[in-house]
Chains A and B, each alone.
Chain A
C-alpha cells in the first residue's frame, strides 16, 4: 500500500463518518462539496472532513481508493457510500438517515 493510501485508509477507518471534500465544512470550495456538507449538517450527525485541496496526494489517492473519479466522497464506518448525488438520493428516500442512525 502506498503512503497516501495508508493515510486515506487510516482516515476512513478511524472516523465513523468522514467526508473528503474541497474546502472546509465552514467554507466549501465547490458546489458539490457544499451540498454534501449541507445534507450532513441538516441530519445533525457529527462528521469529520478532509480538505483534499490541502493535500495533493490525498486528492489523487482518494479517487483510486474508491474507484470514484470525483469529490466529495462520503464514508460511513469504513464503507464508501457515494458522492453528493447519491447522498441526495439517499437523503430524499430516507436511507441516509437510516444508515447514519445505525452508526450513532
Chain B
C-alpha cells in the first residue's frame, strides 16, 4: 500500500489532520505515521488510534500489515 494512499484515507476521514508518513523498511509494507488533529482533543490514546484505524477502513492488520501510529492534538500532549 502506497504512503500517499494511507495519507489520503486519513485526511478524507479527519480533514484537518496533519499526516506524516515514513516508510520504515522501504518495502511499501512497514510504515510509521504521525497524525495531528483537533479531532483528538479530549480522547484517550485508544480512542485516537481507533479513529485513525476507522479511517483506514479495515485495511489495518490486513492489506496494511505494519503501521506504527502516533497521534497528537496540535500543540498538545499526545495523550
- Whether B26 sits at the interface, judged by CB under 8 Å, is no
- Whether A23 sits at the interface, judged by CB under 8 Å, is no
Secondary structure call for the B interface: mixed
In chain A, positions 1-47 with a C-beta closer than 8 Å to chain B are 31-32
CB < 8 Å A-B pair total:
33
Q: B60 touching A89 by the CB < 8 A rule?
A: no
Q: A63 touching B61 by the CB < 8 A rule?
A: yes
**A positions within 8 Å CB-CB of B:** 31-32, 63, 67-71, 80-83, 85-86, 89-90
**B positions within 8 Å CB-CB of A:** 45-46, 49-50, 53, 58, 60-62, 66, 68-70, 78
